[in-house]
Amino acid sequence: MKESQPSAIYLKDYKVPPFLIDKTELTFELDEATTVVTSKLHMRRNPDSTENTAPLVLDGGEDVKLVAVAMDDYVLPSGEYQLVDNQLIITATADNFVLTCETLIEPQNNTRLEGLYRSSSMFCTQCEAEGFRHITYYLDRPDVMSVFTTRIIADATKYPVMLSNGNEISRELQEDGKTSVVWHDPFPKPAYLFALVSGNLEVKNDTFVTQSQREVKLQIFTEAHNIDKVDYAMEALKRSMRWDEDVYGREYDLDIFMIVAVDDFNMGAMENKGLNIFNSSCLLASPETTTDDTYLRVEAIVAHEYFHNWSGNRVTCRDWFQLSLKEGFTVFRDQSFSADMHSDTVKRVEDVSFLKTAQFAEDAGPMAHPVRPASFIEISNFYTLTVYEKGAEIVRMIHTLLGAENFRKGSDLYFERHDGQAVTCDDFVAAMQDASGVDLTQFKRWYSQAGTPQIRVTDEYDAQSQTYQLTLQQETPATPGQPTKLPLHIPVRLGLIDESGNALSVSSSGHVSDEHLLELTEAEQVFEFTQVATKPVPSLLRGFSAPVKLSYDYSSADLLLLLSSDQDGFNRWNAGQQLAVNELNTLIEQAVAGETLSLTSNLVEGFKSLLQDASLDPAMVALILNLPSQAYLSELAQVIHPNAIKQARQYLKKQIAESLQADFAQAYQQHQVTGQYQAEAKDIASRSLKNLALSYWLESGDDAAKQVVVAQFESADNMTDQFAALSIAVHHGHDKADDLLDAFYQQWQNEPLVVNKWLMLSASREQEDAIAKVTALMEHEAFDLKNPNKVRSLLGGFGQNIAAFHQVDGSGYQFLADQILVLDKRNPQIASRLCTPLTRWKKMAPELSVKMKAELERIMANELSKDVYEVISKSLA
C-alpha cells in the first residue's frame, strides 16, 4: 500500500479561480523523441476572487519536464518558483502578466492516453477531464476559459496533416525544412476542449449550409485504409446539424468542423471545439464490417459530440462536479435525435433497458453517487452511467413536467443567458424554471440524492361511484454517505385500460383524458379518478417517465392484457419483460434449491400471439422475445447466483424454442430483407427479428436450423447477418462453431474492428478450459494490451462468460484482478473501468462473494493509481 493515500476533493470547497487566462498561445514542436511545448499565457488576477494575494498555482504532470519559465520577459531563476506535487507555484506575481513556459514531453511514451500521445503513426490529444496538464503547466479547470492560438511545427513528409481547434490561419515552410501551421479558435474555451492532431491522414470533404446560409466545411480524417468507411458518419453529421437547428434553434458557429478517427482511445469520442476526436470504433462503418447496432451507435455518437458544441462548449461546466450539466443534457439530446431518425419506442426501450440494467446496478453498489457528485478522488471515475444516463433522465423529466414548448423556451433562455460561461446544474434548472414558471425547487433533489427511488402502487375501485384511487408511496434507499433521503418530485405518466384493452377516458382534478400526468411529491400520495366506467388495469409510468423502480401487484392476465393492448408501446414491452422476469425468477429459485425446473405461467402463449401478430413492429417483437439479460436479472436479485440465472434463462429459452419451433422457422423466412443493405429502421427491425428467430429455431434442436445458420454465415452480404449467425453458432453449441470462428478470423484478420468482435465472442464462449483459452488469446497476434478497444473486447467478453468468470474456486476473479494490476501501470482509466464486476461482491452468493472480496483485497495491497484506488477502496469500505 502507498504511504499516503489519495484524498478526495469536495464540491463545497469550490472557489473561483484567483487567476484568469485571457489568451493562450501554444507552440508544439512535434518529434518522435522529445516534443517541445512552449506556452504563452496572458494572465491576470480574477477580480471576482477574494484571494487577491494568492500565489499562482499551475497544474502539471509527472510526465511534463519544465525547462524554463518567464514572467513577461523576466526568466525566473529556480528560487522564484517551486515544483510541488506536479504543480508549478509562483508566489510573487503582478496583476497582469504574460507567463511563458517551455516544457518537454514524450508522447510516444504516454500510455495513459491522456494529454498528447501517439496512436498508430499519428499524434493526437485527449484533454478531458484533466489531460491538458500532461501537455504543459496550466490552470487546468473548466472555469478558466481562454482564446487559444496554436502553432504546430512538424516534418510535413511524415505528418502532412496538422490540426487544432478553430480556423487555420497560416501554413509555411520553415528554413529548417519543417512546416509550421497556425490555428486560431476565436471562442474562449477551457483547456479540456483543446485538441491537436498530426499525421499522415486521408480526408473526406463535404459542406453544410446553415440556417442562416453560411457554408461550413466538413472534414473527416482517417488513416488511408479507413477512408472508405466514413460516408455514414458524414451523413449522420449533416443530419445532426440540421436537427439541432430545427429542434433547438442551434446553429454551428465556426467555418469548419473536423472529425478525426484514432485507434487508441480510452472512451468513445471527444467534443473538442471544431475538432472532434473519435475512437475509430465509434466512427467507421461499412455494411460488410459493421453491425446494425454499431451503425446506430456511430450515428448517436456523431450527434452527441456535435451537440456538445452548444451543450458543453459554448456553455460549459463551472467545475467537474457539474459534469452532468453537459453530459446529461447532451445524452438527452442525442437520444431524442435518434428517436426522431428511427423509431421512438424502440429507442426508448433500448435506452431504458440499459439504464435499468447498468445504471440501477451502479446506484445500488459501492460507487453509487448523485448525478451531481459531492466529492471525488479521481474525476475520470465519474464519467458514469449515473452522470450520463440518469442525468439524461433528469432532463427528460424536466421536459415531461414543462411540456415541449416550455422546455424549448427554457433551453433558449439557458443558451442565451450563459453563452460563453462556465455554469452549474442549478443554472440549467433556473433557466428552465424562469422560462416556464414551473417550480422546480423540490425537483432539484434529483441532482443531489443518489440511489434509485422505489415507488409502490396500490389501488382501489368503487363500482358504485365509478371512482378509482391510486396510492403511490416513494422511498429512496440509503447509499454510501447518504443514509436518509427526502421525497422527490416524480412525474408518473398514467393510462387506464378496460378488460378488453381499450383506453378509458377518465377525470382527474376536473380534467378528462385517456392519459394523465401524476406529480408525486410526497412520501405517500393518493390520486383519485372519476367517471371510471369499469375496473381498470393501470398502465403506469408510461414511456418510463421517471428513473425509478415501480411495483404494482399485476396478475399474469393483467400483464398479458397490457402486452397485447396498451396504447403505450413502451409499456407493452415492459409488460412482456415483467412476465418473463416473473417466470425466470421462479425458475431461478428452483435452480438455487436444486429442484427440477418447470414453467408456471402462460408466457409461451403470449409470445406465440406476438409472433403471429403481423400488425406489430418486428423490432418490438424482437425486443419482447429477447429474454431479460443475465445482467438485468442479476440487478434484480437480492443475492446473485450467476449459474442459477444462466440455467434458468437457458431452460426458458429452450422451452419457448421447442414449443414455438414452427413459428420461429416461419418468422425467420418471413423477415428476410432483400435489396442493398441499409441501416434504416425498417430493415434493422426485420433483421433483428429474423436473427432472434434463428437463435430460437436452432435452440429448438431442429437440424434444418443448423444448416441455415451455416448458410447465413457463408452467404451474408452484411456484418449484422454474418455475425448473428456466428454468435448463434457459438452460444448454442453448434457443432461447426469452431470452424466458423476460424473462418471468420481468416476472413477479417485485416479489419481490426471486426477482429475485436471476434475476440469478444471467443472470450465469452463457454467451454471447459475457458480461462486457458482467454489466456492464450492474450498472446494471439490479434490482441494488443496497449489498445483499449482490444482490452475491452477480450476482458469484456470474459466477463460475460458466466461459467468461467464465476468459477467457485475464484480463478476467474483472480484472472481479472491480475489484468487490472498489469493495466493499472499503463493506463489507469482502463484499469479502473475493468474493476466494475468485482465491485458487486456484496450481492454475490456467499461462496463467490468471499473470493471476489479476496481479489479486491489483493489489488488493494499494491501501489495503485488514484483511479483504481478510489474504486477498490470504496468497494471494500
Nearest-approach distance from CB 40 to ligand 0A1, in angstroms? 26
Task: Extract the C-alpha cell encoding 302.
Answer: 456523431
Nearest-approach distance from CB 712 to ligand 0A1, in angstroms? 35
Question: Per CB under 6 A, which region of 58-66, 263-271, 492-500, 572-580 contacts ligand 0A1?
Answer: 263-271
386 binds ligand 0A1 (CB under 6 A): no
d(CA 240, CA 232): 12
867 binds ligand 0A1 (CB under 6 A): no
Nearest-approach distance from CB 356 to ligand 0A1, in angstroms? 21
Question: Per CB under 6 A, which region of 261-269, 514-522, 613-621, 767-775 contacts ligand 0A1?
Answer: 261-269
d(CA 439, CA 90): 47
Contact 397/446 with Cβ under 8 angstroms?
yes
Instruction: Tell me the per-residue interface mask from 804 to 843 with ligand 0A1, x by CB under 6 A, - otherwise.
Output: -------------------------x--------------
| 385-335-164 Cα angle (round to 5) | 80
When the beta carbons of 326 and 418 are compared against ligand 0A1, the nearer one is 326
When the beta carbons of 286 and 309 are compared against ligand 0A1, the nearer one is 309
357 binds ligand 0A1 (CB under 6 A): no
266 binds, among Zn ion, ligand 0A1, none (CB under 5 to 8 A by kind): ligand 0A1
Q: Measuring CA to CA, which residue among 169, 167, 206, 207 is closest to residue 187?
A: 167
Query: What kind and span of H or E run contains 317?
Result: strand 316-317
d(CA 368, CA 453): 13
Sheet holding 202-209, edge to edge: 202-209, 215-222, 256-262, 275-279, 269-270
The sign one gets for the Cα dihedral 731, 735, 737, 738 is positive
Cα→Cα distances 207→124, 261, 307, 336, 553, Å? 24, 19, 18, 24, 56
When the beta carbons of 237 and 740 are compared against ligand 0A1, the nearer one is 237
380 binds ligand 0A1 (CB under 6 A): yes
126 binds ligand 0A1 (CB under 6 A): yes
501 binds, among ligand 0A1, Zn ion, none (CB under 5 to 8 A by kind): none
Bridge-based pairing state of the strands 56-59 and 87-90: antiparallel
Q: Running DSSP on this structure, what letter comes out for residue 379?
A: G
Size of the site for ligand 0A1 (CB under 6 A): 14
Instruction: Count Cβ neighbours within 10 Å for each residue of 242-253 and write b for 16 or more, e otherwise.
Output: ebbeeebebebb
Question: Per CB under 6 A, which region of 238-246, 267-275, 625-633, 838-846 contacts ligand 0A1?
Answer: 267-275
327 binds ligand 0A1 (CB under 6 A): yes
Q: Running DSSP on this structure, what letter comes out for residue 255?
A: S
d(CA 576, CA 414): 40
Question: Per CB under 6 A, which region of 12-20, 254-262, 268-276, 506-514 contacts ligand 0A1?
Answer: 268-276
When the beta carbons of 395 and 540 are compared against ligand 0A1, the nearer one is 395
Nearest-approach distance from CB 267 to ligand 0A1, in angstroms? 4
Question: Per CB under 5 A, which region of 323-331, 439-447, 682-690, 858-866 contacts Zn ion?
Answer: 323-331
Size of the site for Zn ion (CB under 5 A): 2
d(CA 805, CA 161): 45
When the beta carbons of 305 and 699 are compared against ligand 0A1, the nearer one is 305
Sheet holding 537-540, edge to edge: 516-520, 490-497, 537-540
Instruction: Count Cβ neighbours within 10 Å for each residue of 754-768 and write b for 16 or more, e otherwise.
Output: bbbbbbbbbbbbeee
Nearest-approach distance from CB 539 to ligand 0A1, in angstroms? 34
d(CA 271, CA 334): 13
Nearest-approach distance from CB 47 to ligand 0A1, in angstroms? 30
Bridge-based pairing state of the strands 506-508 and 537-540: unpaired
> In this chain, which of 128, 363, 721, 867 binds ligand 0A1, going by CB under 6 A?
128
Query: What kind and span of H or E run contains 171?
Result: strand 167-173
When the beta carbons of 192 and 813 are compared against ligand 0A1, the nearer one is 192
Nearest-approach distance from CB 389 to ligand 0A1, in angstroms? 12
**Residues marked as catalytic:** 305
Q: Residues near 86 by Cβ (< 8 Å), separated by ≥ 6? A: 59, 60, 61, 62, 64, 133
Instruction: Tell me the per-residue interface mask from 743 to 782 with ligand 0A1, x by CB under 6 A, - otherwise.
Output: ----------------------------------------
> In this chain, which of 90, 99, 152, 269 binds ligand 0A1, going by CB under 6 A?
269
For ligand 0A1, the binding residues in 277-316 under the rule CB under 6 A are 304-305
d(CA 856, CA 873): 9
Nearest-approach distance from CB 780 to ligand 0A1, in angstroms? 28
383 binds ligand 0A1 (CB under 6 A): yes
Query: What kind and span of H or E run contains 395?
Result: helix 391-402
When the beta carbons of 269 and 352 are compared against ligand 0A1, the nearer one is 269
Nearest-approach distance from CB 308 to Zn ion, in angstroms? 6
Q: Measuring CA to CA, which residue among 720, 721, 804 is closest to residue 762?
A: 804
Question: Per CB under 6 A, which region of 266-274, 453-461, 676-684, 756-764 contacts ligand 0A1?
Answer: 266-274
562 binds ligand 0A1 (CB under 6 A): no
> In this chain, which of 185, 271, 362, 363 binds ligand 0A1, going by CB under 6 A?
271
Nearest-approach distance from CB 304 to Zn ion, in angstroms? 5
d(CA 383, CA 266): 12
d(CA 267, CA 290): 19
Task: Give me the residue whose beta carbon is nearest to ligand 0A1.
Answer: 267
For ligand 0A1, the binding residues in 395-434 under the rule CB under 6 A are none
When the beta carbons of 331 and 597 are compared against ligand 0A1, the nearer one is 331
> In this chain, which of 101, 230, 260, 270 binds ligand 0A1, going by CB under 6 A?
270
Question: Per CB under 5 A, which region of 15-23, 328-336, 689-697, 804-812 contacts Zn ion?
Answer: 328-336
Nearest-approach distance from CB 312 to ligand 0A1, in angstroms? 7
Question: Per CB under 6 A, which region of 3-11, 262-270, 490-498, 553-561 contacts ligand 0A1?
Answer: 262-270
Which amino acid makes up residue 792?
R
The sign one gets for the Cα dihedral 864, 866, 870, 873 is positive
d(CA 626, CA 634): 16
Query: What kind and span of H or E run contains 795?
Result: helix 788-799
Binding site for Zn ion (CB under 5 A): 327, 330
Binding site for ligand 0A1 (CB under 6 A): 126, 128, 266-271, 304-305, 327, 380, 383, 829
